[in-house]
């Protein structure tokens, strides 16, 4: 849990995703999920377009959507194996809640499309950070089904909409290991005028 600005910076410097297969089913509760979604709404948004929306999967809807994933998996011509069919059916039940963050681009706006899409990425990361700050597990996934036409149809997306991420939220069972991170000096330079 974060209590001070220093705690927040420390959290951001050390945060880790917890992969969906390692999540427990104990959380987030309704209030926590609501706070995660509200944190998602609180992102930089050039022109106040709000170019995103959420589709929430909780309870039975997770397994029901698994039927869509299984059908789309088979329709894509992938091998029809029992284990894999079961995995697809149960994919969303790996987490207590899955939130599809949908990027909604307004093509009429003077705000460049690129900036509208970037704002959706910020939504996803704000949600992940909020869940982490609550001591919950979170992972940002797209996997194959964020790009599958049958799945997108079942989500009832419009032409100007794309899945920015399926955000998985659950409880932490085992703390994650550290992951190799880029070195700051390798990624940073100071601009100077040409001599």
Binding site for ligand FMN (CB under 6 A): 16-17, 19, 139-143, 165, 179
CB 181 → ligand FMN: shortest distance, Å? 8
Residue with smaller CB distance to ligand FMN, 79 or 182: 182
72: its two tokens: 């789309």
Residue 56: CA count within 13 A, CB half-sphere = 13
Residue with smaller CB distance to ligand FMN, 44 or 182: 182
17 labelled binding-site residue:
yes
Residue whose Cβ sits closest to ligand FMN = 17
Q: Judge contact between 40 and 127, C-beta under 8 A.
A: yes
CB 108 → ligand FMN: shortest distance, Å? 26
CB 161 → ligand FMN: shortest distance, Å? 15
DSSP 110: S
Residue with smaller CB distance to ligand FMN, 7 or 143: 143
Q: Parallel, antiparallel, or unpaired: how do β-strands 52-58 and 23-24 relate?
A: unpaired
The dihedral formed by the CA atoms of 25, 121, 54 and 116, expressed in degrees to the nearest 10: 180
16 labelled binding-site residue:
yes
């Amino acid at each position: 849990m974060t209590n001070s600005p220093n705690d927040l910076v420390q959290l951001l410097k050390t945060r880790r995703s917890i992969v969906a297969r390692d999540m427990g089913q104990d959380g987030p509760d309704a209030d926590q999920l609501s706070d995660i979604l509200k944190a998602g709404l609180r992102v930089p948004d050039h022109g106040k377009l709000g170019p995103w929306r959420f589709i929430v999967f909780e309870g039975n809807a997770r397994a029901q959507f698994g039927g869509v994933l299984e059908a789309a998996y088979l329709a894509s011509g992938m091998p029809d194996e029992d284990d894999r069919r079961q995995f697809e059916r149960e994919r969303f039940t790996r987490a207590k809640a899955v939130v599809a963050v949908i990027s909604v681009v307004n093509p009429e706006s003077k705000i460049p499309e690129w900036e509208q899409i970037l704002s959706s990425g910020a939504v996803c990361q704000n949600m992940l950070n909020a869940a982490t700050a609550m001591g919950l597990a979170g992972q940002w996934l797209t996997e194959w089904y964020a790009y599958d036409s049958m799945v997108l149809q079942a989500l009832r997306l419009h032409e100007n909409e794309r899945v920015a991420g399926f955000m998985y939220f659950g409880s932490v069972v085992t703390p994650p290991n550290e992951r190799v991170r880029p070195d700051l000096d390798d990624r940073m330079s100071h601009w100077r005028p040409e001599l």
